[in-house]
Structures are given as C-alpha cells and as structure tokens.
Structure 1
Amino acid sequence: MTAIVAVVVLALGIAGLAETSRWFATIYVSLIIVWTLVGMVRDVLRGHFGLDVLAVIAMIATLAVGEYVASLIIVLMLSGGEALEDYAARRAKKELTSLLDRAPQIAHIVDSGGAVGSDAITDVAADDVQVGDVLLVRPSEVVPADAVLVTDSASFDESSLTGESMPVTHIAGEEVLSGALNGSQAVRVRAIRRSADSQYQQIVALVQEAQESRAPVVRLADRFAIPFTAVSLIIAGAAWAISGDASRFAEVLVLATPCPLLIAAPVAFLGGLSRAAKAGIIIKSGAVIEQLAGVRSAAFDKTGTLTQGRPALVAVHTTDEFDDDHVLQLAASAEQYSSHVLAEGIRNAASARGLALSTAASANEVATNGVSALIGSRTVVVGKLAYITSLAPDTHTVDLAPGQAAAYVAVDGRFAGALVLADDPRPESRAVISWLRGHGIERVAMLTGDARSTADAVAREVGITEVRADLLPGEKVRLATQMQPRPVLMVGDGVNDAPVLAAADVGIAMGAKGATAAGDAADAVILKDSLVKVADAVAIGSHTLRVAFTAIWIGIAISIALMLVATTGVIPAVVGALVQELVDLATILYALRALSGPTSGLDEPAHSDRAPTALTARR
C-alpha cells in the first residue's frame, strides 16, 4: 500500500501538482503515524518499548519541515521491515488445529454380548461413546476411549502413550488406555470413561494449556530500542540546538530510522530458517532460532529419541542340537507371516547375516502368543515363553538385561533356543550429548515413561547421568517447566511427548517417525531419522544469532556515523532517506551470511535410514 501511495505522490509531482502531492503524502503519513502511535501506547501499557517510536518521531519531524517525500520513504521501509519480520515469524508454522491425524474418529459399538461376527455393530463418533459401552477394536485400530479388556488377552502398542517400545499384553479385566494401537486380532473392550475424559484427550489438553502458558519472546531489535533512540535524539537535538535550524533535527533523524535494525534480524532469521530446512530441520519461527542459540538445559525422551525405536537382535541362545544361524533362519522364515514388532527385528537380523528365508507350506499366527509355520518338513513355532513351554516342555528361560525381550523357538515340539532383542541406543546419541555439553548446554537429562532399569541402562550408554523414569505426560511437563538453567530444550517423538514439547522453551520433534501430535506441538521438526540434527539445529541457531547481532551493530555503527555527518547540514533529508537505503543494503547483505551457516560437524550414522544391524550373537 505504501509503495502505491509513493508512486501516486511522485506521479502527481511530475504532473506539476506539487501541492496536491504534498497534501496526499501528508494525510497518508499522518494516518500511519496515528495508527503506529495507537499500537505504541498499547505496547507501553504492557511494559514493552520498541523502535517504532524513533520512526514516528522521524516521520513527524520530516512532515513538520515539509520533507514529505522523505517521510514516505521512512514509512515504506518501516512497513517493509515489519512485513519481512512477520513473514519470518510465520514461516513453516502451522496452527494446532488437530492434535493427531491418527486420532480415533469412529467407535464400533457392539449391540449385544454374542461372539464377534454375529452381533450387530454400530459405528458412532468417538465422542459419543458412553461409559459401559462395549466396543469392537479391529486390528491396527486405535482404542477410542479408556476401557477394560473384555477379550481374554490382547497385545497393544502403547509406545506413543508411555514411551514403552515393546508391545504390551493385557488380559481380561485390565485397563487399556485410549490412544493405544491394537495388535493383529479384533478385540472387545468396555468403556470406563467417555472419549473426552480419556487419557488421549488429556494429552491434547496438556498441549493446548502448555502452549498458551508460554511467555512471548521479545523481538531481537527491540532490545536496542531505548539506547539507540536516546543516542539518536541526543545527536538530533544537539544539531538543532547548535545550528538553530529545525530542519537539521529532521535531517539527522532520517538517518536514524530503525530500518536496518528492523530488517537485519528478520533477514538473518530467514536465512537461518532456510539453512535449517536444507539440513532437514523445519524450524517454525525466527524466535525459535534465537531460543536455540541460548539453550542451557536439554531433556530427551528415550524410546525413539535416544534409542532407535525398533527392537534389534542382540543374542541367540540355542540348545546343543541347533546352531545360531539355523535357529535364526527358521525363526525368521516363520516370522515372515507375523505382524509383531519383534518379528521385524528377527527378519532384519537374518537379512543382515545373509540368511535366505524359506517359504512356509502353511502358517498361523496365534494372537498375543506367537506364530507357527511348516518350513519344509519341520514345524517351527516362535513366541512367548509360556506359549512355547506349552508346546515344548523342555523350554527354559534365558537371562535378560533391562530393556531386552526374548522370542522363544520350538522346532518339531522341542525347544531350539531363544532370540534376544533390545531397542538399542542410536549410534550417534553419545556423540550428540557430548557435543551439546561442549557447546554451552550445562544440564542434560532423560525424561521417559519407560521403566527405571531400562532408562538407566540406556542413559549409561549415551552419557546421561540425570534420569527421571516412569513418568506420565503431565509429570514430564512439570519437570521441564521447573528445569534450570533456562532456556530448556526438549527432544521427543511420540504422542506422550507432545505436552512437554509444547511446554519447553524449545521443543524438537523427531518427525521422521514421530506422531503428528509431537510435530504440531514442537517448535522444530527433524525430517531425517537422526539425532545429529538436534546438534545441527543448535549450531545453526547460534550462527544465525551471531550474524543477526553483527548485522544490527553494522547498521547502528553506520547510522550513527551518518547522523554525525548530518549534523553539519551537508545531507538533505531526502538524500539522507535514500542513503539510509544503502545502510539497509549493507545490513541485508551481511545478514544473508546466515544462509550458509555451519552445522555441528558430527557425522551422520551410516544406518540412520535403514533397519538396525544384528550384533554378534552369543550363546
């Protein structure tokens, strides 16, 4: 709009209508002054003093001495700088309109208590579920409301709620939380809470509450507002007093307009945002970059963040009748027909060893227990201890370390061995933690919903000494908000991490595998499945902030030098306004250095985008 007005004013002037041009510009600039003053008063009442006051004084001064073209140039650059800053703040940011794409929208209500398949099933909105309703939850569906299990037993993936990476088996009468992902069999549950009162919706509420409670970040350039304004007014006032010419006051203030300060930081932050995006990190605003640069404490979730989030084979225990590779090959061949999370780890381990899988003549998965397959002439069964023991009485248990799980194997009714799997730490986790400690992070902690023994084991491997385990989402929020020193960085990936990501000063979501909730609540999202990107984000933030500060100081130094020259009267107001554009150009060119900022320099893990490799097996 200001650009259009400037063109109209120039056109009227060229057409010989100088008086009309002057009045047109004066009225427009006056309206801008009033509008800006109203906003300034509101800001001052909230205890906020910005650079706009200097621009207003400059506009009033230029109008007062008849330099209306100079006043238009000031308005043009002021509005342009603010628009650029607003764009930087909105870039890549989305409103939290929906917490989860996978949120349950439909519930299947069973009308009677007969067998599955013979009863009438009514689909209703999840919000319409009432306490006492019996619900059918089909394979791979999300439980729509907190409930107790009616089916004898069932397996659920609760990793997005509790942080536990292994599937959890429940028996009839046990509580199943909303948001849990059902396994491979259709099950029945009886609602004990309405959807709106369930665990899942409580997480949604925590996210919204945490976001609303966060204090706004002060605009970077405004920190220079009072001293720069004071210096500028002193120089301008001295020039007027010494010369006795009021126009000298305007000529100095034209060169003191805060355009370089208002533009330098947004341009640098835009450069930082672009640099981060190129590195696979979506940062949602320039204010987040500034917070990243100042982070002093960091907290990490465990499952899927410090660990890989997928169980990998760590050991093979066999009887004397079988060797390791043979048992693994048979088990992996049978697990081709299973959707269990451990099955993928077993198949990946066999593939990593170059073992060819055999096709089964027949296969059957026994929900929550295991899988049975006819491989050649041999009957192979892989599953939990109790199930294998019922088929092979000679089965014996194997010792497990914290965080490990075992899949037992029987061949032709005899115990063959056990495959031990664990969700190992990411290979880059220790290096990232060490890098953060060496770059200004004074405190590093693990906040996890997983068991204490498992959390401690992972923490030791990655170099974290402060561990808080067995946490619910609300407890994570409380600990993060109380953590000192600040600002606090939180890194997570699951639904259960969404509230604490929103509550932290800076929340980073591992978005490659993480839930939509985590990405929506976080300030930054990592698009590649690598923890190195957390260190890269901090490095980019630090570099960007250094560039922004340097650009601002360049603008201040040049502006003050030009103001001192203007006190002599050798720079007319219009010329000064145009010269000021050269100062803008200098600050912009320097601020663009943020586009090529360095990253952490840490090496990406070679297998960050591939399945985990099996470790050397041992009996």
Structure 2
Amino acid sequence: MAAVGRAARSYPVVAATLAVGAVGGVLELTGAAPAARVVLSVYALVVALRQSRGMVADLRAGTYGVDLLAVLAVVSTVLVGEYWAALVVCLMLSGGEALEAYAAGRARRELSDLLARVPRVAHRVRPDGGSLDVPIDEIGPGDELWVRPGELVPVDGELLTADAAFDESSVTGESLPVEHRRGDALLSGSVNGGEAVRVRATATAAQSQYQAIVALVEEAQASRAPFVRLADRVAVPFTLVALGIAAVAWAVAGQASRFAEVLVVATPCPLIIAAPVAFMAGMSRAAKTGIIVKSGGTLEQLARVRTVAFDKTGTLTHGVPVVAAVHPARCWGADEVLALAAAVEQYSAHPLAAAIVAAARQRALPVPAARDPEEHTAHGVRATVGGRAVVVGKQGFVRSAAPDVAGAPLAPGQTGVHVGVDGGYAGVVALADEVRAETPATLAALHRSGVRSTLMLTGDAEPTARHIAGRIGIDDVRAGLLPQDKVDAVRAVTDRPVMMVGDGVNDAPVLAVADIGVAMGAKGSTAASESADVVVMLDDLSRTVRAVRIGRRTLRVAWQAIGLGVGLSMALMVVAAFGLLPAIVGAWLQEAVDLACILWALLASRPGREERAAEPLPLPAPLRVPAGGFSRG
C-alpha cells in the first residue's frame, strides 16, 4: 500500500483518472449509467481545459503546441457520447506524462547519481590522530583528512598513506580500481576501496574536480536540445494532416463519431515524449563513460560533425617531454651520459630536467648526488659529480666549458640537452613530446564515423607540426598560430559542424567559437572545461570517437522513435477513417503506441549495431616526435 501511495503522490493526475474510472464503473454496474456518463464527461472536459491552458501558455512562450489534437479528441468523444473513450484519452495524456517522467528519470540516472553523491562532510584529522566532522566548505589546502572505506574523497588532495586503491569511475570513467602510492594526487569524487587513508587537501571543495563535474552535470540537466524544438514543429504538419483525415472521414461517412474516432488515435504523444527521452538517455550513457555532454543540442551536433580540429600539445601528444634517445660522444656510453646528466639536473625544476631524471630512474641507473649545483636560468646547470666537473644544458652554454661540442644528431624538431665533463664533450640527450598511443587510431576511427577532414592547430613551428602530422595521419596542419589565429582558423572552416579538441587555457577561446568544443578535462585547464560543450574526464583521446558515436546513435534513435509513433498513428487514423476502429479500442491502441515510442527512445542508452561492430581502437607502440616547444627558457 505504501508503494501505491507513493505512486499516487508522484502521478496525481493518473491516480485521479483511475479513481474516476472506478467510480464510473461502479455506477454503471449498479444501473446508474446516466450518472456515470455525467461524471466521466465532466472529468474529461476538466482535463481538456487543463490541457488547453498548457497549450495556450506554450503558444505565448513561442513554442508550437501539439496539444490541440488531444483536446479535440477529448471534446469530440464527449460530444458523441463516447465518454469511456474520452476517459481513456485522459488516461493516455496523464499516463504519457508519467511515462515520460519515469523514462527521463531512468535515462538521467547516472547524472542524478553523480549529483546525489556530492560529499557534504569531511573528517578532519585532530592532533591526537582522531577525526572531527566538519562541513566540506570549511576544508582548505593543507588540511589533513581521514577518508574511510567506501567514502568519497571530499576534495582534491595528496595521499599520505603508503598505498591505497580507489574507484575513480564516477570521475574519469575508468572501470577498474586505480592503485595510488604516497604522494600521488587524488581526485575528489574517487571512492576509497580499502582501509581508511589519510589525505592532505590541495584545494577547496569549490575548486576540486568533483565539484567541477557536478557543475557541468547540473548545466547538462537544465538543457533542452534544439532537436526537441524541431520535434515540436514537426507536430504542426502532423496536426494538420490528422485534422484533414478526420474532417474527410466525417464528411464522407456523415457521422460525427467518425471524426472523434480518428482524433483519438492521432494524439501526438510520440512527438512530445520520444525526443527528450532519447536525448536524456544519450547524455546519461555518455556520462557513464566519462564524457560530460552539456546539452542535448550538442549531441545532435556531434552526430553531424564533419570537421575535427585538434590542438597539438596535451591533446594529440601527452604535453610533457620524454627522453627519445641518447647520443654519446666517442669513448662514452649512453647510460653513463644519461646518469651524469640526471645527477646534475635533479637540482633543477625545468621540465627537461625532470624528464632526464625520470628516464635515468626508469632505466634503473644510479643517480649520484652532486656538489655545488649552480643553475643558469634558461641556459643550463653546472655541478661536481664524483669529483668531475659536469655541465648540462644548451649547446652554447656547454661549449663555454667544453669547446669540442659537436652538432647534435637530432630528428626534426627534437630538443637536445648537451653534456660536458671535465672540459670535454660527452654527448647529447634528445627529448621529444610523446604522441598519445591512441592518437593515430583515433583519427582513423573518426574518419570511419563520418568525419570528412581533420586539422591540427598549433603554435609550434611548421616543421615540427608537419613531422607529427605525417606520422599520425592528420589531414591538414596550421602551425605558428596564436590563440586568435586558432579562432580565425575555426571560423574559416566551411565543412561544418566543426569540433575542436583542446586542453589548455589558450584553447578556451577556440573551444567557445567551435560548433562543438571538446575539452580534455582530466588534466586540462578549468577555463577550457568551462568554455567547452563536451568535457572528457578520462585522459583518453579516443573518447572523442565515442562521443561522436553516441551522438549519432542518439539522433538516429530519436528519429526512429518519432517515425515509429507517427507511422503507427497514421495507420490507425486510416483504419479509424473507414469506421473499423471504435473510439474506445483506438484509445487503448494509442496508449500502446506511446509506450512503444518511449521504450524505443530508451534504446539510446545502449550501444547500437554500428558501435558493437566497431573494432576496438588499437594501441600502437608509442611514437616519439618533436617537442619544439620544450627548449630551455
């Protein structure tokens, strides 16, 4: 009974319609048919009046109302004495609204779950090691927190416990638990999958990753797709056709009841319901895979995208330098040169220095301590290692200590860090920005998904950009661009819609002007995420292909659901026009049509045949390519 009460409170018009039907049934069974007719007819006219008010409000708001057929169906069935059919039409209208609410709720379940899980309280560590529960808004950088088993990390932070596993699926879409060690960065919204851990906050709640995702989701839930408005406009010619068939049937048969019988099966619920449900299902599915789509209209644009433009650094590449090769001078070994360079560079904060130290540690090379390190900003570092004077840095800087510095055998666009030891030249470490492993396969998959051209927009030098483009299979390259140049390049694209994919602060303007802006949000800037229409929460470029495929699937399902509803309604109208479909039977059949349309629209929450058949994106061996933007200084 409690469940029945909750359902009645959630859907009061449905409950009222069923109650009136029960009263009418009792009256007819007790021989009071005239009273039943009055009760049902009055109730039906009240529902029609309520629907009329909504229709007028829509028209005043500039929305093409599609309730005219429903109102006419109720009024005409009452006038011809088909009061039970009128009640079924009322049940159809109220039931359709209830089904839409239920289906939309199911479709946006992943979005709603994300909002419902927002942490409200954090456990601040007390001096005695215990915890004090405080509102999450009171947490600031530097605060130490306890995160208990199964709880969400309340703010972005740094792990203080030795190691722990976290479920990051709601933040990045990664389905498997992620292992972290002491010092690793933790994203708010991650779920602690083991014992209680200590975390040091590195941001406030408002500045943390989970709150940013929640804000994006709230924006997505408030949106309404242009396609839905298009469905409203499609209903206008449908209404005119239905009225025409009903009028002809009445004129030919000479019976007013024929007019009512046609309109009963012509109610436009499929047009009202199908598109919103399909788009919410598509947005929900995208969110489940770590892709936040801010509006239903963006899904439609994704389905039709023809050109995709990419920023280079941090999007097509990882955006950080790595050691591509070591070229030792005569009488030197590659590992020896790398170890000496790392020994000196470990005292520098430069990105190239960090890459050299990381490469030495990855090769398990001993990195000895250095004495008297002296960094010359934008040039290099000097230090003493094992009693030897070592100089590391730009060619000109190293030449001042080792005059025999030779020309570096670097690939086009690579950056060289030279090494001199005791006045002699030891070799050069070549560094490059590593292309994402999934980049070539992603570009190929976009073409297979209907994208006609791909474009690289970068501030790098032309040789570097073209070297990368040739290896990853991109169609066109625009190099040496400033942020405004990127904006102009996107505006000049004629084969639209155009999608722009980027991650940096300098990408925010071009993401905003593109038809679809996609931000790589896992490591990208907040400005880029705020400017974008789509935010990919996992550091995976191939999610852009998935977003396009979800958009195509959603649009296709929405049109299929509308086509199914309109087609079945038209067929039933023709049958009713020939007098073969009593009003009461037609009303129940139209209810079945509405249900079928909703169920079909929900298919957008599942992958289609094209996606299931699509081969998984291969992960080729990493390509190391030029990193022209990583010179010292």
The answer to whether TM tops 0.5 is yes
Shift of 1:410: 2.7
For 1:64 and 1:348, locate their aligned partners in 2 and report how far apart those are by CA, in whole Å: 84
Contact map agreement 1:452 1:469 (CA 8 A) in 2: yes
Q: Who is 2:94 aligned against? A: 76
TM-superposed deviation, 1:51: 4.2
Q: Which residue of 2 aligns with 1:286?
A: 296
Which stretch shifts more, 309-318 or 575-584?
A: 575-584
1:548-578 deviation per Cα after TM superposition (whole angstroms, max 9, x unaligned)? 3223222222222222333355655455343
Q: SS of the counterpart of 1:360?
A: coil
User: Percent of aligned pairs with the same residue?
Assistant: 47
3-state SS of 1:475 partner: helix
Equivalents in 2 of 1:76, 1:449: separation in Å?
57
Letter in 1 for 2:19: A
Q: State how far apart, in whole Å, the 1-side matches of 2:626 and 2:447 are.
A: 30
SS at match of 1:395: coil
Show the counterpart of 1:325: 335
Give the 3 Å change call, closer, same or farther, for CA 512–435 of structure 1 in structure 2.
same
How far apart are residue 288 of structure 1 and its match? 2.0
- Equivalent pair of 1:363/1:371 in contact (CA under 8 Å): no
- Counterpart of 1:355? 364
The answer on whether the counterparts of 2:73 and 2:263 sit within 8 Å (CA) in structure 1 is yes
Contact 2:226 2:296 in 1 (8 A): no
1:370 shift after superposition: 3.4
The reply on whether 1:8 has 2:16 as its aligned counterpart is yes
Q: CA deviation at 1:401?
A: 4.8
Contact 2:321 2:352 in 1 (8 A): yes
- 1:26 and 2:71 matched: no
Match of residue 578, structure 1, among 588, 591, 598: 588
Moved more, 13-22 or 392-401: 13-22
Distance 2:442 2:551 in 1: 16
Q: Which moved more, 1:330-339 or 1:9-18?
A: 9-18
State the TM-score, normalized to the length of structure 2.
Answer: 0.67
1:484 aligns with 2:494: yes
Secondary structure in 1 matching 2:538: coil
Residue 56 of structure 2 corresponds to: 37
SS where residue 338 of structure 1 aligns? coil
Aligned to 1:144: none
1:34-64 CA-partner distances (Å, limit 9, x unpaired): 23223225436xxxx5645544544554565
Counterpart residue number, 1:603? 617
Aligned partner letter, 1:459: A
Aligned to 2:552: 542
The residue aligned with 2:356 is 346
Measure, in 2, the Cα distance between the counterparts of 1:91 and 1:279. 10
Kept in 2: contact 1:428–1:604 (CA 8 A): yes
Q: Secondary structure at the match of 1:603?
A: coil
Classify 1:358/1:350 alpha carbon distance in 2 versus 1 (closer, same or farther; 3 Å): closer
Q: Tell me which residue corresponds to 1:475.
A: 485
1:332-381 deviation per Cα after TM superposition (whole angstroms, max 9, x unaligned):
344334332113332343345x2323241547462444345554444544
Q: Residues 345 and 356 of structure 2 are in contact (CA less than 8 Å); yes or no, is this contact kept in structure 1?
A: yes
Q: What SS is found at the alignment partner of 1:423?
A: strand
Q: In the TM superposition, what are the counterparts of 1:97-176 in structure 2 within 5 Å? A: none
The counterpart of 1:240, out of the listed 244, 250, 262, is 250
Q: Tell whether the 8 Å contact from 2:411 to 2:626 is kept in structure 1 after alignment.
A: no
Deviations 1:234-265 (A, max 9, x none): 33223322333334323322322222233333
What CA distance in whole angstroms lies between the structure 1 residues aligned with 2:374 and 2:43? 81
Matches of 2:254 and 2:333 in 1, distance apart? 101
**What residue in structure 2 maps to residue 562 of structure 1?**
572
Structure 1: stretches of 5+ with no match in the other structure: 94-214
| Aligned positions, number | 489
C-alpha distance in 2 between matches for 1:240 and 1:42? 34
1:579 & 1:485 partners in 2: Cα distance? Answer: 45
Instruction: Give the deviation of 1:466 after TM superposition.
Output: 2.3
Residues 68 and 458 (structure 1 numbering): CA distance in 2 closer, same or farther, change over 3 Å?
same
User: Whole-Å Cα distance in 2 between the matches of residues 472 and 63 of structure 1?
Assistant: 69
Structure 1 counterpart of 2:285: 275
Maintained 8 Å contact 2:109/2:284: no
SS in 1 for 2:365: coil
**Equivalent-residue separation in structure 2 for 1:535 and 1:347 (angstroms):** 35
1:360 and 1:373 in contact (8 A); partners too: no
- Which runs of 5 or more structure 2 residues have no equivalent in the other structure? 1-8, 28-34, 113-223, 628-633
In structure 1, give the amino acid aligned to 2:463: S
Distance 1:612 1:453 in 2: 15
Alignment of 1:264-413 (within 5 A): 264-352=274-362, 354-360=363-369, 362=371, 364=373, 366=375, 367-398=377-408, 400-413=410-423
Name the SS of the counterpart of 1:309 in structure 2.
strand
**What is the RMSD computed on CA atoms of the aligned residues?**
3.8
Select the residue among 479, 485, 501 that pairs with 2:511.
Answer: 501
8 Å CA contact 2:52, 2:68 repeated in 1: no
- Give the TM-score normalised by the residue count of structure 1: 0.69
TM superposition shift of 1:85: 9.3
**Larger deviation: 395-404 or 458-467?**
395-404
Asked if the contact 2:344–2:370 (Cα under 8 Å) also holds between the matched residues in 1, the reply is no
Counterpart Cα distance in 2 of 1:418 and 1:399 = 8
